Structure 1
């Protein structure tokens, strides 16, 4: 005999309240109902405010309401948890994460690190899981490989129930996330540092190679193109991919042979993003008879491992650690101010990179 709907839904509520968080497929198996049936029950219970839905999980709204009330009354307490969500293969963000963690540790706040896999919308399930686990704030560095994937996240990020801050991401003016605390590097300025350094050394024909997997890559491509096009001393320039890490959301693009591009342009200088790609491209140039810096000066962008190359690479170094530190401080302040009428204004902080000159650049003969 089939179990009455109201009895089944009471069993769902009891299971979720007992565990705090339950997977939908586990509930379906325990109640011996289909996925369609369990999702219909959860939908109805969520509309009545008895459950909170996540990506494949459900949780009790009681714990979230109590946590928010306590946060409004007492600010940050020892043992509170902040979720940090970063993309897979995030070596560029390691320094930022370490400095952010130091800030949270000093405040007595625990860090729950969530790694978002490749693919569009991968951050949302991680954030939902973190909120279901009771996180009182979220520090995010979404992958955002393309403008479309970025815009697709604006709606749900703008309606988060807890304070959030962005790290190394800067939504455009007028977007739904414009009024969200954020800290990032001024990559336009970093691009200018690289071009001006090469021009001062006498290089007039340049090649730019950037990745295609992040907002930083898109900003760098646009900035380098704009700066070179407007520079009175740059005679000719070209852009190509340093590597394609498109992942699962689109097909990898073709990466042109850098040696061929250099020779077509007659270039004696190159800006390569990021460090690992720059080191590999320098090796390829050597195999093709192009020596660095004798035949071509190279500036890397990121400065994570650029100094370990042979030769050590001149590099633009964004203030990665300070980005993480300030982003964590902004998030903690926002958590403290939650629900306060005199909360501090939103901040959009932009930090300038610096140029570190090593052995991969020299004056033209």
Structure 2
């Protein structure tokens, strides 16, 4: 049975009056309701003069410390400057949308207003969006540039390094030595994710492995480079190759993807790593149409786990922690925006490790196939 609104608000008042300042997220957890619901209650209680509201914080009206500091109230708040945090992500990019939702939850829990900007696929599309956000008073920036190729990334170095507000890159790792090298960033460890895929296949006895991958994003290029490095260092892998996963997967959009079924037969490959998972599902369908059954004839690991579990068979997949990337990036930005000691601390380059979800698309090699 749903708790009456007035009873819930009395509980909020009781907690705030007994403890002093309490974060909205803490109240939501203790009352077992959503952050949005608690924020609405706190706003109504503040309007009626029963408590005081700050950025993500509820305070009792009789708080002597708060009352004494009323003329300098902005200095009390954990994030004292006005304005929103701008989030900039590419258009039609489901991978980064999950990252966006993780960032959004952390910012909303902190009571921070969000201004979302979706960048179209044209070159340099992020810059005017960021400039507009800054003109509208954005006090911080979370950004995941599209960067289909190295040249596109280099074009963004100068202006992005001079944004002038705290900035955190999401799921992007700047080129070493570039102007963005000293910019805060949070991303997945794609080397480790690729290692998980290869290690799993090698442990099942696979010795001939193909990577069919995109080449139109920093994630794609990281996966391709990591795969080549890892299989070269594994003496068990006797044959490997890297190809495009689809014709439009090249950085310039004009790729030429080979017939994967023919390639597997030609090289005698028994396993494939397919990036990303939507391309993986389509490639598995094409393999079936060509008489190659997964996993009987070829084991498959998808890189990304948005829809891999929905395949037939469900695909074993590397699962980057996308939502956690967004949350960690937002928390780092909140630190920069706060008056805490870490706000002026060293640049942080954070990596979170992917996991491997083992499903029905991989199996051990039959002795007769080796």
Judge conservation of contact 1:203–1:268 (CA < 8 Å) in 2. Answer: yes
Which of 273, 276, 281 lines up with 2:275 in the alignment?
273
Deviates more, 1:218-227 or 1:79-88: 79-88
Unmatched 5+ stretches in structure 1:
1-69
Within 5 Å, which residues of 2 pair with 1:1-365? 76-77=79-80, 80-245=83-248, 250-337=252-339, 343-365=344-366
Judge conservation of contact 1:71–1:335 (CA < 8 Å) in 2. Answer: no
Judge conservation of contact 1:80–1:108 (CA < 8 Å) in 2. Answer: no
Kindly tell me: are residues 222 and 146 of structure 1, through their superposed partners in 2, closer, same or farther at Cα, counting changes over 3 Å? same
Kindly tell me: are residues 337 and 244 of structure 1, through their superposed partners in 2, closer, same or farther at Cα, counting changes over 3 Å? farther
The separation in 2 between residues aligned to 1:93 and 1:315, in whole angstroms, is: 17
Kindly tell me: are residues 217 and 72 of structure 1, through their superposed partners in 2, closer, same or farther at Cα, counting changes over 3 Å? farther
Kindly tell me: are residues 115 and 276 of structure 1, through their superposed partners in 2, closer, same or farther at Cα, counting changes over 3 Å? same
Kindly tell me: are residues 131 and 75 of structure 1, through their superposed partners in 2, closer, same or farther at Cα, counting changes over 3 Å? farther
For residues 264-309 of structure 1, the C-alpha deviation after alignment (integer angstroms, 9 at most, x for no partner) is 1110000000010000000000000000000000000010100000
The separation in 2 between residues aligned to 1:113 and 1:174, in whole angstroms, is: 30
The residue matched to 2:240 in structure 1 has which SS?
strand
Aligned to 2:66: none
Kindly tell me: are residues 177 and 105 of structure 1, through their superposed partners in 2, closer, same or farther at Cα, counting changes over 3 Å? same
Judge conservation of contact 2:207–2:239 (CA < 8 Å) in 1. Answer: yes
Aligned-pair distance for 1:80?
3.2
The residue matched to 2:231 in structure 1 has which SS?
helix
Q: Deviation above 3 Å: which 4+ runs of structure 1?
A: 70-75, 77-80, 244-247
TM-score scaled by length of structure 2: 0.76
The residue matched to 1:228 in structure 2 has which SS?
helix
The separation in 2 between residues aligned to 1:90 and 1:342, in whole angstroms, is: 31
The separation in 2 between residues aligned to 1:309 and 1:169, in whole angstroms, is: 28
Aligned-pair distance for 1:78?
8.6
The separation in 2 between residues aligned to 1:337 and 1:173, in whole angstroms, is: 30
Aligned-pair distance for 1:75?
5.8
Kindly tell me: are residues 135 and 81 of structure 1, through their superposed partners in 2, closer, same or farther at Cα, counting changes over 3 Å? same
